[in-house]
Amino acid sequence: MSILLSSYAVVRPLLFSMDAERAHEFTLKGLNTVHQSKLGKQLLPKAPVANPFSLMGLSCRNRVGLAAGLDKNGAYIDALGSLGFGFLEVGTVTPLPQPGNPKPRLFRLPQRQSLINRFGFNNDGLNIFLDNVKDNAWRKNGGILGLNIGKNALTPMEAAVEDYLLGLAGVYEHADYITINISSPNTQNLRELQGEDQLGGLLATLNEKRKQLSDQHQRYVPIAVKIAPDLSQEQVKIIADVLIQNDIDGVIATNTTLSRASVEGLAHAQEQGGLSGPPSMHYLWKSYGAYESSWEAAFLLLALAVLTRRRMP
């Protein structure tokens, strides 16, 4: 293990003395500084673990990827890539910049190694996102990069498809795969897009646009849909059918959960937002199993697992 990664126990008290969102930003900036410094080669992993596998027809270096949400603006792609991931996903990006929900909006539940967030797709907008994404060595050196798109909070639900069309067209040239985020619990009414009619209409339109973009750029870019864990078996079956009908390549199971059953009684447990961390794994694997049985390997099922090395004091 690299010196940087093994030093977490030392820097943890400093990070936990900060507001959670400030610590998030501090860590990313610190990683970027180390990556760009002469000490980077000594502090960061020498090379990613070589365990190649195929992801929607794409060759990844290993099976541990980074989910969207950590780097919303695609500003730290090379620094994050230096940690040894097999593939990276950045975003969610919306067509226009937006501040997200009011602060504080990120809460620690250290007893369960968990977080509750209600960020609300805070990002600098598609133009800045694309400037960042174009300027990275990760993809030029063979790294797989997924770009995650969403809708602006002020865009009416009936016009949501327009935001996704803008995002799809904007990121297509720069993505190895594209994720359609319709499951964040922190954008009002967004999860309505998981309904059969709404989802079918959205994906049919996006798939038609992808055909045009594929012809224009002479390359096919896989599309995955990121779904919520808080769905019934019946809803899972409906979504599975809609995705297959619209030639979707993969599904990301899952986004954060609204359930608090596993953290009830803890400080911050009743904060609004999505819960992530080990307590969410029950819902993740429940959803994973339901989708797996419904889809019968019709396309890729990518699980957002939670990796833990040991419980920190």
* Active-site residue list: 184
Place domain 48-303 in its CATH homologous superfamily: Aldolase class I (3.20.20.70)
CA nearest 243: which of 209, 210, 205, 204?
204
Q: What is the dihedral of CA 281, 179, 87, 63, to 10 degrees?
A: 40
Distance CA 37, CA 18 (A): 25
HSE at residue 156, side-chain half, CA atoms within 13 A, is 2
Q: What parts of the chain have a pLDDT lower than 50?
A: 1, 298-299, 306-313
Lookup: tokens for 310: 């040991």
Distance CA 285, CA 287 (A): 5
Distance CA 37, CA 233 (A): 50
Q: What's the pLDDT score for residue 235?
A: 87
Crossing angle of helices 8-16/20-36, nearest 10°?
140
Instruction: Indicate if the alpha-carbon torsion angle 253, 255, 260, 265 is positive or negative.
Output: positive
Q: What is the 3-state secondary structure (H, E, C) of 166-194?
A: HHHHHHHHHCCEEEEECCCCCCCCHHHHH
Q: Around Cβ 258, how many Cβ atoms within 10 Å?
A: 16
What are the boundaries of each domain within the chain? Answer: 1-46, 48-303
Contact (Cβ atoms closer than 8 angstroms) between residue 303 and residue 284: yes
Total residue count of the chain as it appears in this document: 313
Q: What's the pLDDT score for residue 8?
A: 78
At 303, phi and psi to the nearest 5? -90, 135
